[in-house]
Amino acid sequence: MSTSANFGNMVSMALATPLLPFLPLAAKQILLNNFLSDVPSITISSDNVDPDRVAQPQRWSITHIQRFMIVFGLISSVFDLLTFTVLLLVFHADQATFQTSWFVTSVLTELAVVLVLRTQKSALRSRPSSLLLWTTIVVALATLAIPYLGPLSSAFGFVPLAATQIAAVIAIVAVTSSRRKGRRYGSIGQRHTAVPRRAPAKVRGLAPLDHRCIRYATLQNPAGAVAIRAN
């Protein structure tokens, strides 16, 4: 998800920069964006996984990960361009307002996508771990608060947003997250497959009970099973 988000942001920057009299995001704003969106990702290892995802071992496909990055990065760019259009044509945003709005939209979208794509179920039916949930909430609130923090906001080139602009940002985040969910578990689907269990090879000269012991050892500790056969 992080690779697709970074890829999409860079595509959006490349497309928008020649058409705008200013950069869509300044370098320090990009660094802050990456820092904030990565904080909840640190806690993913503590997340609750749906029982059907751990019923058997899974094997990831590198090809699928590459396709995921490209497809979702381009989808992100489409909604970024939609955001740019709304900011320029509807709100007639200047440089500071444009950068602030896209910064908030980008960070909130990345946070929402983590919660939405972590499960095939509805995000409300599959509860994330407390650590992941609360870090996401804290970072989301911090992102919304940064434009109003005076000296800190000015240091990063942000300005306060109007209520209508905040509402538009939240609406874009909601639409973007839902569309990514449908695409993730729709036509692309999950390409990681179950790893089949291999039955242990029979060792000539052993009684049935010995074969059962080797089979149990193979399932519990394959390396130990090899040692048993060697002995």
Same domain? For 37 and 90 the reply is yes
pLDDT beyond 90 at 116: no
Same domain? For 61 and 164 the reply is yes
Position 36 scores a pLDDT of: 95
What is the percent of the chain with per-residue pLDDT over 70, rounded to a whole number? Answer: 76
pLDDT beyond 50 at 214: no
Position 83 scores a pLDDT of: 92
Q: What is the CATH number of the domain that holds 38?
A: 1.20.1110.10
Same domain? For 189 and 206 the reply is no
Arithmetic mean of pLDDT, 101-129: 86
The span from the CA of 119 to the CA of 116, in Å, is: 7
Same domain? For 36 and 101 the reply is yes
Same domain? For 225 and 117 the reply is no
Same domain? For 128 and 221 the reply is no
| Mean pLDDT over the full length of the chain | 80
Give the torsion through C-alpha atoms of 62, 35, 50, 179, to 10 deg. -80
What residues pair up with 58 in beta bridges, in sequence order? 194
The span from the CA of 2 to the CA of 114, in Å, is: 9
Position 63 scores a pLDDT of: 86
Cβ 16 vs Cβ 89: under 8 Å: no
Same domain? For 187 and 204 the reply is no
Burial of 157 (C-beta count, 10 Å sphere; 0-12/13-18/19+):
middle
Domain that holds residue 133: 2-194
Which stretch, 81-95, 186-200, 203-217, has highest mean pLDDT? 81-95
Same domain? For 155 and 204 the reply is no
Same domain? For 64 and 33 the reply is yes
Position 191 scores a pLDDT of: 46
Position 169 scores a pLDDT of: 93
Token pair of 227 as six digits: 């040692």
The span from the CA of 13 to the CA of 80, in Å, is: 9
Token pair of 67 as six digits: 């396709």
Same domain? For 186 and 89 the reply is yes
User: How many structural domains does the chain have?
Assistant: 2
Structure confidence by residue, pLDDT tens digits, 16-37: 999 999 999 999 999 999 999 9
pLDDT beyond 90 at 104: yes
pLDDT band, very low/low/confident/very high, at 3 (cuts 50, 70, 90) = confident
Same domain? For 17 and 67 the reply is yes
Same domain? For 124 and 215 the reply is no
DSSP codes of every residue in 85-146: HIIIIIS---HHHHHHHHHHHHHHHHHHHHHHHT-SS-TTTSPPPHHHHHHHHHHHHHHHHG
Cβ neighbours for 180, distance < 8 A, ≥ 6 positions apart: 72, 75, 76, 113, 116, 117
Arithmetic mean of pLDDT, 88-92: 95
Arithmetic mean of pLDDT, 207-212: 48
